[in-house]
Amino acid sequence: MSAGEKPKIGVFGAGWVGLVTGACFAELGHEVIVRDVLPERIAALESGRVPLHEPELPELLERNRERLTFTLEVDDAVSAPIMFVCVGTPPTYSGDADLSAVWTVVDQLPELEERAILVMKSTVPVGTGEKVRAALDARGLAHVGYVSNPEFLSEGSAVRDFMHPDRVVVGAFTEADGAAVTALYEPLETTVVQADVASAEMIKLAANAFLMTRISFINEIANVCEATGADVVKVAEGVGLDHRLGPHFLRAGIGWGGSCFPKDGVALKQLASNSGYHFQLLNAVIEVNELQKRRVVGKLAKHLGSLRGKTIALLGLAFKPNTNDMRDAPSLILAPRLLAEGAVVRGWDPVALEEAKQALRGVELSETLLEALTDADGAVIVTEWDELSGLLTSELRDAMRTPLIVDGRNLLDPGEARAAGFVYESIGRAAHDLDVLPETEEPETKLHQ
């Protein structure tokens, strides 16, 4: 590599983090080689198909085709002097992170002649860096550096998050390795937090846990609002304007899901308890989230009585909008809960129907909102897709057997919903969620009073 030339980058794992990381480094001018173990995934990428739904990613991959290579071979990926590990670290039954994919990458590294750096982007327990360092040293790979560089990419805006990060965290064992990784982010003009490896690992876990805490906090405030007559949306606005608190992650709803929060929350809880510490607050944060999803059932029953034989449409199945990711989506809890109550459950989602087929057994999947709502006794907004902002039409209202909406994301305006002839419930907006039939354009309903 000549002076001034950007180093080639290897990426292990062509999932969300790996593909976004690879595509963004290619956009920044690096030659990038992405390796995955799934032949169908590599074949798709080679033929220009993107195996996941992430805004801007297809365009980025297409624009940088010349600089991007996809491979199944470890030996191809290790031709790069800087190798990012972006493999999955799913939960095990014990709640600890499953690091087998991480260890496979480490164990498969060949005898590298040249100096290289392994950069950990996957979310791993604190202490993983120390262990990998020791394993590399034991294999005679002391010249392979190790750097922790956690990702803070939010699905649905991952490309933007990579290109405009709030900060980049670099935890290294040596100054030179830290500087080499820091240099990669120079074009992004962001704050780089340089730390020891353990602290870098903990920054990622703590940031996620804090975001989860904010959500569970506002959800509990929402529940108290329901009991006392306050409106959580107003409350969050008033609280969030305090510069010490800020407005983010104060949207009350049916709780978080996704590829990170559920598994990373439990992994941090177990990491603490494995070290003999009971992380009381985090336990409560997780439990609040579990209970929050189930409150939907009570809101439906409040109007419909027993749900046995009632048809309930779940609107939005992905864990959040702009993704087809169903990992730990609230719909995965709600569907079986409603089925257990004896309800007939339908599901609609603009992009995740294929994924839902595998994940939601016993649920009738609908291609259109009209199909999902026809003769339904109630609908639950599970994911705040843009498409659902247009839900308040007379066509959809009249198609429903009872025009009941439980808005699990506070997406719609209560006054507008009621004026459009729907019976409307949301989360923590007691001031608006009056248990009354709509005053205008009142349709015939069979609502349980």
Report if residue 215 touches ligand UDX, rule: CB under 6 A. Answer: yes
Report if residue 249 touches ligand UDX, rule: CB under 6 A. Answer: yes
Which region, judged by CB under 6 A, interacts with ligand UDX, from 39-47, 176-184, 207-215, 366-374?
207-215
End-to-end CA distance of the chain: 75
Binders of ligand UDX among 5-64, rule CB under 6 A? Answer: none
Give the largest Cα separation in the chain, rounded.
77
Which region, judged by CB under 6 A, interacts with ligand UDX, from 129-137, 151-159, 296-304, 423-431?
151-159
Which region, judged by CB under 6 A, interacts with ligand UDX, from 128-136, 244-252, 272-280, 347-355?
244-252
Closest approach of Cβ 213 to ligand UDX, in Å? 11
Q: Do 222 and 145 form a contact (C-beta atoms < 8 A)?
A: no
Report if residue 201 touches ligand UDX, rule: CB under 6 A. Answer: no
Instruction: Write each residue from 365 to 394 as x if it is in contact with ligand UDX (CB under 6 A), else as -, in one continuous string.
Output: ------------------------------
Say how many C-beta atoms besides its own lie within 10 A of residue 130's C-beta. 14
Report if residue 258 touches ligand UDX, rule: CB under 6 A. Answer: yes
Beta bridge partners of 145: 117
Report if residue 428 touches ligand UDX, rule: CB under 6 A. Answer: no
Beta bridge partners of 116: 144
Closest approach of Cβ 253 to ligand UDX, in Å? 4
**C-beta of 256 vs 385, nearer to ligand UDX:** 256
Beta bridge partners of 345: 312
**What is d(CA 374, CA 186) in angstroms, rounded to the nearest whole number?**
54
Report if residue 260 touches ligand UDX, rule: CB under 6 A. Answer: yes
Which region, judged by CB under 6 A, interacts with ligand UDX, from 71-79, 85-93, 245-253, 437-445?
245-253
Binders of ligand UDX among 310-349, rule CB under 6 A? Answer: 319-320
Report if residue 253 touches ligand UDX, rule: CB under 6 A. Answer: yes
**What is d(CA 421, CA 439) in angstroms, rounded to the nearest whole number?**
8
User: Exposed, middle or buried by CB within 10 Å (0-12, 13-18, 19+), for 284?
Assistant: middle
Report if residue 250 touches ligand UDX, rule: CB under 6 A. Answer: yes
- Contact with ligand UDX (CB under 6 A) among 35, 53, 133, 251: 251
Catalytic residue among 24, 86, 225, 260: 260
Which region, judged by CB under 6 A, interacts with ligand UDX, from 90-98, 255-263, 332-340, 357-365?
255-263
Closest approach of Cβ 91 to ligand UDX, in Å? 14
Inter-CA distances, 365 with 104, 350, 376, Å = 38, 11, 13
Report if residue 153 touches ligand UDX, rule: CB under 6 A. Answer: yes
**C-beta of 141 vs 153, nearer to ligand UDX:** 153
Closest approach of Cβ 245 to ligand UDX, in Å? 13
Q: Which residue, 144, 148, 163, 170, is CA-closest to 85?
A: 148
Q: What's the Rg (C-alpha) of the chain? A: 24
Query: Among this protein's residues, is 260 annotated catalytic?
Result: yes
Report if residue 205 touches ligand UDX, rule: CB under 6 A. Answer: no
Report if residue 121 touches ligand UDX, rule: CB under 6 A. Answer: no
Closest approach of Cβ 201 to ligand UDX, in Å? 13
- Site for ligand UDX (CB under 6 A): how many residues? 20
Closest approach of Cβ 98 to ligand UDX, in Å? 17
- Contact with ligand UDX (CB under 6 A) among 155, 177, 407, 425: 155
Report if residue 190 touches ligand UDX, rule: CB under 6 A. Answer: no
Report if residue 296 touches ligand UDX, rule: CB under 6 A. Answer: no
Residue nearest to ligand UDX according to CB distances in the complex = 260
Write out the residues near ligand UDX by the rule CB under 6 A.
151-155, 208, 211, 215, 249-251, 253, 256-261, 319-320
Residues annotated as part of the active site: 260
